Amino acid sequence: MSFQATVQSAQGVVTFRLSGELDSRSAPRFHEMITQAVLPAARRLVLQMADLSYMSSAGLRCLVYAHQRAGSGVAIELVGTRPEVAETIRLTGFDRSLTMLEAGARP
Amino acid sequence: MRNTDRFRLFGDHGMGAVVADLVDTIAGMGRLSRRQAYRLRLAADEITTNIAEHGYHGRRGVVDIEGGVDDDWAWLHIQDNAPPFDPRGHCPGGVPETMHEGGYGLFIAFTGIDHFAYDYFDGRNRNTLLVRRPADAPDGGTDDRHRAAGR
């Protein structure tokens, strides 16, 4: 399944909605979206992950890039992450740098 | 019983889908759990991506991937003609300090499967990935519950 991503920004909250498979082929596109959308004014990043079925280390690096670009004071929330994807994030310890929420916890 | 399925890839970023299809087939043959199938796909994806990016430095190159099952294991052999490269020597013992070292993918690959082996023979790198089959998994056949390597 191909990777799809949308982004919207309102009142300092940047929300990405991801679907499909985020791997080494699709990661550069998402990386560019992060560069364009995550600006210093961002207060919070929300990633809707429920429809993301696969994520390799290339995708994980995108999440780390978003975290670095936003800055340490900006909260990052992953919503509805599937168990297999969440396991990859936890494996690397990056889950300690963000908040993982159940689906529906954020609009 | 030994089933195999084999593809020859030309190393570039498009091979991820072929890897996923092969792992789906092997997972079905070996009746792997969804989690096992996902982790085997992830490991194979990371190994082949590493070959394409670092073995061939982004240039095209042959990557052979072959998989099968035996009584106890589901396995993949991934072979390439790039210069000798043992991934085990490039994977940190723990979680890498930064995401830019390139070792993160290999760390994920090694952590997600039950056994990894490497050898260099006849001018080729060969990576062997093993996942132990569930104890109650009979040979052969496919089951949609198991064809779930992230699809």
* Residue-range domain boundaries for chain A: 4-101
Residue B139 in domain: no
pLDDT at B101 over 50: no
- Does position B6 have pLDDT exceeding 80, yes or no? no
pLDDT at A4: 97
Residue type, B130: L
Tell the residue number behind the tokens 């997600």, with chain if given.
B112
| Confidence (pLDDT) at B97 | 57
Write down the ipTM of this complex. 0.90
pLDDT (tens digit, 9 = 90+) per residue, B7-39? 777 766 568 888 999 999 999 999 999 999 999
Q: Is residue B86 part of a domain?
A: yes
Residue B11: predicted pLDDT: 63
Using alpha carbons only, give the angle B130, B133, B138 rounded to the nearest 5 degrees.
140
Q: Is B45 on the interface with A (CB under 8 A)?
A: yes
Q: What share of chain B is helix, strand, coil (3-state, %, to 5)?
A: 35, 25, 40
Task: Note whether A25 contacts B13, CB cutoff 8 Å.
Answer: yes
Distance CA B95, CA A57 (A): 12
The CATH class of the A4-101 domain is alpha beta
Indicate the Cα dihedral angle B22, B27, B33, B34, nearest 10°.
20
Number of domains in chain B: 1
Let me know if residue B34 belongs to a domain: yes
For chain A, residues with pLDDT lower than 70 are 105-107
Mean pLDDT of all residues in B113-126: 96
On the question of pLDDT at B108 being above 80, the answer is yes
pLDDT tens digit string along B41-87? 999 999 999 998 888 887 888 899 999 999 999 999 999 999 999 98
Please provide the size of chain A in residues. 107
Q: What residue in A sits closest to B33 (Cα-Cα)? A: A84
B124: domain CATH number is 3.30.565.10
Of A53, A64, A87, the CB nearest to B99: A64
Q: Do A25 and B112 make contact, defined as CB atoms within 8 angstroms?
A: no
Domain that holds residue B67: 3-132
